[in-house]
Chains A and B, each alone.
Chain A
Amino acid sequence: MRSKLDQELDLLNYQLISMGSMCEDAIKLAMKSLFEKNIDLAINAIEMDKKVDCLERDIESLCLRLLLQQHPVAKDFRIISAALKMISDIERIGDQASDIAEISEYISDKTIKSWYYIKEMADASIKMVTKSIDSFVKRDIELANEVINDDDIVDDLFVKTKAAIINDIIEKSDDGENYLDLFMISKYLERVADHATNIAEWVLYSITGKHDEMNE
């Protein structure tokens, strides 16, 4: 006979995967709306972010209820506390996606060179988000470590993007707002990658009981 706690943990698992995949969808939609200039997709991304927010509250109250009523210990406790931390990161990714979707409407000029780097960054950070959710789903330590290492790639790309935008401004400085928006998007993407790293760290914590930042 499975205990009540086990059943609730299954539910938590399901909801976490749902929330993770929703935020994955949100960031993908946002980037697609940016590249394809499709306002419908942007609206979808923003809608998705709202759903993610709702789910965050649900999961939060589920976690708190479990902590208060079931008094979990050891691994169960780690899973729940990691979940509590993960959802805030997931929710932040959703927010960034929604922000990007909002900006995407106003970006017009796609011929500039820095566009290439934005695409690279988008691909890299979306891949990180997918990997971090995957590492949670599969309880895969290696994959989580990979995500943590991948963060450096995105950080590098951010520096490159910044340089490219500066170059673009020097070459063609008539549309200032456009460049600022692009820079914002690259910053958002960099944050998304950071949140994905955090998620991976909490996945590691829930499996091994060790958290990198705590040990420092």
Chain B
Amino acid sequence: MKKKIFRSYIILSAIIILLSIVSLIFILYNKLSSQLIVSLKNDAIYLENIIENNQIDSLKQLNNIEDRITIIKTDGTVLFDSQAHITDMENHLEREEIKQAIEKGEGQAHRYSSTLSVKTIYYAKLLPNGIILRVSRNLQSVWSILLNILRPIIILFIVIIAFSIILSNDISKKIVSPINKIDLNNPENNNTYEELSPLLIKIAKQNERVKEQMEVLSRKQYEFELLTENMSEGFILVDKKYEVLSYNKSAEKLFGISKNNENNNILAINRSQEFRKSVDDSFNGKHNSQKIELNNKFYQIVSNPVYNNTEVIGVVLIILDITEKEERELLRQEFTSNVSHELKTPLTSIYGISDMISNGLVKQEDIAGFINNIKEETTRMITLIDDIIKLSKLDEGGKNIERTDVDLYEIANNVMIRFQNKAKSNEVNLSLEGKSVIINGSKSILEEMVANLIDNAIKYNHPNGYVKILVDEIDNPFLSVADTGIGIPDDCKERVFERFFRVEKSRSKTVEGTGLGLSIVKHGVIFHNAKVYLESKVNIGTMVKIVFKKG
């Protein structure tokens, strides 16, 4: 804008200056030439008088004057010249002004010198005494005049440029400032140039359209965000160059993507073999589903190619946390294999014994002993199956189990009496302390829980140890069973409540047990909405405390 105004100013002033100079010079020059001729004529008249009165020689004294005076005979020979030697001069008969003078009595002509910078104007007059007087004077040519006035012109031009800069600045500011002041959000309410109003109307219309579209877009964006941000599955969008375009919060959480990571490549998120295969396959147009393990958690990666017509332009990855499912699967497998193992062991020995008896390999008097073995093994199996049935009942959520108000102390006492004999044979001292506490629950399940705890406390005890049972109410009703037994190592504490888990790995059966006891306790605790706490130190003892909800 500023530049354009400036340029037009400069061009305009240059044209004006040029035109005025040309016309000025033209007028001046013509004026100058005609004036020069008049003065030459006057000079000639004056000189004519001198020549008539004195003789040619007196002219020689006049060599200081501006005019060049030449006297020529009618045959062309030069008689006198004020500025050159006559001997050097040629015949002047062919000169334009001389010819005219001979014909008409006077003549004039102008010629340029060889350099063109000087123009000479000649005036010749035929005197009555038959000689021709020629007076001539040099006139500066147009170029030299121009050259003379060049400096002022340049100065003028510089002044004009300076003015143009100031003016164009000023004008462009003045033109632009109202435009800048236009409120583009409300283009119709502006007082500005009339010429701009069609544009403003157009802008107003477009504003409206843009607003509408933006609303639609932001609504869609919001919906999409709601959808992706609130789903528990991770979501990652990858473009053709393997760069991550977007991901949701869950993906961020699952993979620990940090926002300021410089490397935007999908492999910067995870580069395990399965993940790479998943991404690569989808870029080749295949749907893929892979399981990966990360930080002890299992994820399922479902990847799908994104098509534009027939070309794959990206990949969508959905990440599902399948840790729980995977763990449950693992538990189920473990459970099945454990159950079958536990059942098979007694069955094998029953089979072996009965095989021996049926083949007559056992002496008559020993049969009773072997039958007793069979009975023991069967009892083990029945206990095991009983435990499993109890567990699976509790697993079902215990919907059909009746709840009544029961006295925890009474239950503990009943169970303790049942275990007195076993405690005696293990040389363990059993004791119950506390007071009567009424809670709401299932008597049979509670009995089972307490029985398992006391059983464990007796089984895993040292000779002359003791088991202390405490039933009391501090804030909440609780029951605790503490022993002075062998304790549980720290790394097993979390696992003792798992089914079939036994601290003693080798199934040498130094201590009888199904490995289901604490698992039943755990499920009973869940059934009663209670909490179980385990404290244990190896070779010092274990304390299990079950805290019930009030009422």
List residues of chain A with CB under 8 Å of any chain B CB: 7, 10-11, 13-14, 17-18, 20-21, 24-25, 133, 137-139
CB contact under 8 A between A14 and B265, given known A7-B241, A21-B276: yes
Chain B residues within 8 Å of chain A by Cβ, number:
13
Q: Which residues of chain A come closer than 8 Å to B242, judged between CB atoms?
A: 10, 14
The answer to whether B263 and A25 have CB atoms under 8 Å apart is no
Chain B, residue nearest A7 (CB): B241
**Restricting to B257-286, which residues have a CB under 8 Å from any CB of A?**
261-263, 265, 267-268, 271-273, 276
The answer to whether A137 and B271 have CB atoms under 8 Å apart is yes
The answer to whether B263 and A137 have CB atoms under 8 Å apart is yes
CB contact between B267 and one of A7, A11, A14, A25 (< 8 Å): that residue: A14
List 28 A–B pairs whose Cβ atoms lie within 8 Å, in order of A's numbering.
Answer: A7-B241, A10-B241, A10-B242, A10-B243, A10-B265, A13-B263, A13-B265, A14-B241, A14-B265, A14-B267, A17-B267, A17-B268, A18-B267, A18-B271, A21-B267, A21-B272, A21-B273, A24-B271, A25-B273, A133-B271, A137-B263, A137-B265, A137-B267, A137-B268, A137-B271, A138-B262, A138-B268, A139-B262
Q: Which residues of chain B come closer than 8 Å to A18, judged between CB atoms?
A: 267, 271, 276
Chain B, residue nearest A6 (CB): B241
Q: Which residues of chain B come closer than 8 Å to A14, judged between CB atoms?
A: 241-242, 265, 267
**Restricting to B145-165, which residues have a CB under 8 Å from any CB of A?**
none
Shortest beta-carbon contacts, A-B, top 3: A21-B271, A17-B267, A137-B268
> Whole-angstrom distance between the alpha carbons of A25 and B277 in the complex?
13
> Whole-angstrom distance between the alpha carbons of A10 and B265 in the complex?
8
CB contact under 8 A between A138 and B261, given known A10-B241, A14-B242, A14-B267: yes
CB contact between A11 and one of B241, B261, B263 (< 8 Å): that residue: B241
Q: Which residues of chain A come closer than 8 Å to B262, judged between CB atoms?
A: 138-139
The answer to whether A139 and B263 have CB atoms under 8 Å apart is yes
Chain B, residue nearest A29 (CB): B273
Given A10-B265, A14-B265, 9 more A-B residue pairs with CB atoms under 8 Å apart are A10-B242, A13-B265, A14-B242, A17-B267, A17-B271, A18-B276, A24-B271, A137-B271, A139-B262
Q: Which residues of chain B come closer than 8 Å to A10, judged between CB atoms?
A: 241-243, 265
**Restricting to B405-459, which residues have a CB under 8 Å from any CB of A?**
none
> Whole-angstrom distance between the alpha carbons of A46 and B329 in the complex?
33
- Chain B's nearest CB lies how many Å from the CB of A206? 12
- Chain B's nearest CB lies how many Å from the CB of A12? 10
The answer to whether A138 and B273 have CB atoms under 8 Å apart is no
- Chain A's nearest CB lies how many Å from the CB of B448? 43
Q: Which residues of chain B come closer than 8 Å to A25, judged between CB atoms?
A: 273
> Whole-angstrom distance between the alpha carbons of A14 and B268 in the complex?
9
Chain B, residue nearest A13 (CB): B265
> Whole-angstrom distance between the alpha carbons of A10 and B266 in the complex?
11
The answer to whether A138 and B263 have CB atoms under 8 Å apart is yes
- Chain A's nearest CB lies how many Å from the CB of B504? 24
Q: Which residues of chain A come closer than 8 Å to B241, judged between CB atoms?
A: 7, 10-11, 14
